[in-house]
């Protein structure tokens, strides 16, 4: 009984501490979706504020615990790489 109390936490830490730092595709997909919702950066921000507390933690946890681990152990991430994020209405430097 005492061994299982010690062994269980060690196995859990070993499972979740595999250094599966990956591309965070789910997180980036939420950001990309939000930047493409409308042409207005202000409307995108208004939509982002209520979505952020729910979608971003779920996407982040999904990436860290599931999708990046699958990529680490299997070699392929099940979430496709989103297009790069580009801010709207950005003035050029030159």
Question: Domain spans of the chain?
Answer: 22-86
Q: What is the pTM of this model?
A: 0.64
Q: How confident is the model at residue 89 (pLDDT cuts 50, 70, 90)?
A: low
Q: How confident is the model at residue 93 (pLDDT cuts 50, 70, 90)?
A: very low
Annotate 55-90 with b (16+ C-beta within 10 A) or e (fewer).
bbeebeebbbeebbbbbeeeeebebeebeeeeeeee
């Amino acid at each position: 009984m005492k061994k299982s109390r010690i062994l269980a936490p060690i196995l859990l830490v070993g499972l979740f501490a595999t250094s599966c730092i990956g591309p965070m595709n789910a997180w980036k997909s939420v950001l990309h979706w939000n930047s493409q919702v409308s042409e207005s950066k202000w409307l995108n921000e208004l939509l982002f504020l209520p979505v952020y507390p729910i979608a971003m933690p779920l996407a982040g946890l999904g990436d860290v615990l599931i999708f990046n681990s699958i990529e680490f152990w299997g070699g392929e991430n099940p979430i496709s790489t989103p297009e790069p994020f580009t801010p709207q209405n950005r003035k050029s430097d030159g």
